[in-house]
Amino acid sequence: MKSSTEIKFQQGLEHFRNANHLSAINVWESLREEGYTNPNLDVYLHAARLERSKVMQHLEATNADLDALVQAAGASMEPHSPVVDHCLHAKEHIKARQYDEAARSLSEALKLDEDCTTLWLALARVYCMLGKARQAVLHAEKARALSQDDAEPHSTLGQILFEMDQPAESETSFLKAIEIDARHYRAWYGLGSLYYSQKRFGLAEECVKKALAAKPSNLTAMAFLDEVLAELENVENLIGEAQRTVEAHPTWADWHFKLGTLYSQSGRIPEAMERYDQALKINPGFTKCCYERAGLLLKEGRYEAALADLKAVVQQVTDRDEAALARAGELESAGRIAEAAMEYWNVVTIAPDHASRHIELGKKFFTEGLLEQASRELSIGLSHRPEYVDGHFYLGLVELKRGHPEAAAESLGEALRLNPRLAAAGLSLVEAL
């Protein structure tokens, strides 16, 4: 027999399954306060917060864009044009969380007006909510091509790339949007979300405050700022503890490093550099410290100093790209120090396996019956590594459960193409067809 806390946890799952993310968050947070120890609690709580933030951003932007299109049509005396009708239908479907139907309505609208940037962006966001990452990127890129001097396509692409775990490309898109419009709310909010995910809380605070300066009454940004400030307060408490340890044990290099990392998270870069310098004086072979200091030096444009650190780090990298290393050496010999430093950085930076993380989370969601979330995670994982057979296999099973036999057949067929001996995929494919 299930305990009351287990029943409560399942209630949270049911809220999550129905996309009632705030209700799920409230249930799971209360369980954590009660000391509930389910190992999946933090995973689901983080996922619910992330999903709510993503969906709120996409819904807010999409509804605003569709409202603007409808209002513009009314002003031009075409309030009942076919495009407007499709937009109104899309709004109704979005309100009912029928994102597949919303995508169909917006696709029909685009057939009638292929040069409408707003429609391309709206459909990109809906695809993102459906977990169709590749389609979302393609539509956002089309919008950007149509309106290169408009901040909105750049910020939308930045948000989609952020959700696909492509932080460098995401940051570039957000910064481009800000370059075009220094008060672009969604770019500042998105950049703050990106920095928050990287534990760069000081930078996140600056960005969210600039987002609020653009939209002072935005409740989502206000709540996010509270969350960032809470993390900063936690970091400050940890800084105090680390400072006391360093004072008591000034020769402990690892604690100088920890203190430097905390300073970096809070945005206190000069103090972070000082701690890293001290750690390396005590232990010149502290590779991780060299790596972190090099990252800060690169951001400050101090390429020669960064290059020295990175060359020390690269000696400790066993599985490295020798061709890239050779290019870095050639660039350095040619005096192109900045490019050489960035090439060395790429050599020593081990990219996390984003694909596996998303696919495993998607499989977990599938087993819990969270089909929409499973589809999103599996699609993002496959956008990174389309050769992952189990990603296609599970995505096919998800689409089958969602009542989309054609999409299921496509995914399961791809799984079979990659691994013809995958009998389970074959059986499911027969069921789909």
CA atoms within 13 A of residue 395's CA, in its CB half-sphere: 30
Looking at the predicted structure, is the pLDDT value of residue 349 above 50?
A: yes
Q: Determine the residue type at 324.
A: A
Q: What DSSP state is assigned to residue 78?
A: -
Looking at the predicted structure, is the pLDDT value of residue 357 above 60?
A: yes
pLDDT at 334: 92
Whose structure tokens read 């492509």? 166
Residues 342, 329: Cα–Cα separation, whole Å: 11
What value does the mean pLDDT take over residues 169-178? Answer: 93
pLDDT at 77: 42
pLDDT at 257: 93
- Assign 80 to helix, strand or coil: coil
Q: What is the dihedral angle through the alpha carbons of 262, 265, 271, 274, rounded to the nearest 10 degrees?
A: 70
* pLDDT tens digits, one per residue of 256-299: 999 999 999 998 999 999 999 999 999 988 888 999 999 999 98
* Range in 3-17, 73-87, 331-345, 361-375 with the lowest mean pLDDT: 73-87
Instruction: List CB contacts of 30: < 8 A, sequence separation 6 or more.
Output: 8
* pLDDT tens digits, one per residue of 384-433: 778 788 888 888 888 888 888 888 888 888 887 777 766 565 555 555 55
* Range in 5-9, 24-28, 31-35, 65-69 with the lowest mean pLDDT: 65-69
pLDDT at 345: 86
pLDDT at 369: 82
Q: Is 60 left (phi over 0), alpha (psi -120 to 50) or beta?
A: alpha
* Range in 7-21, 29-43, 221-235, 418-432 with the lowest mean pLDDT: 418-432
What value does the mean pLDDT take over residues 229-256? Answer: 91
- Assign 352 to helix, strand or coil: coil
* pLDDT tens digits, one per residue of 98-122: 888 888 998 998 898 888 898 999 8
Residues 240, 245: Cα–Cα separation, whole Å: 9
Residues 245, 277: Cα–Cα separation, whole Å: 17
Looking at the predicted structure, is the pLDDT value of residue 86 above 80?
A: yes
Helix (H) or strand (E) holding 231: helix 219-248
Model pTM greater than 0.75? no
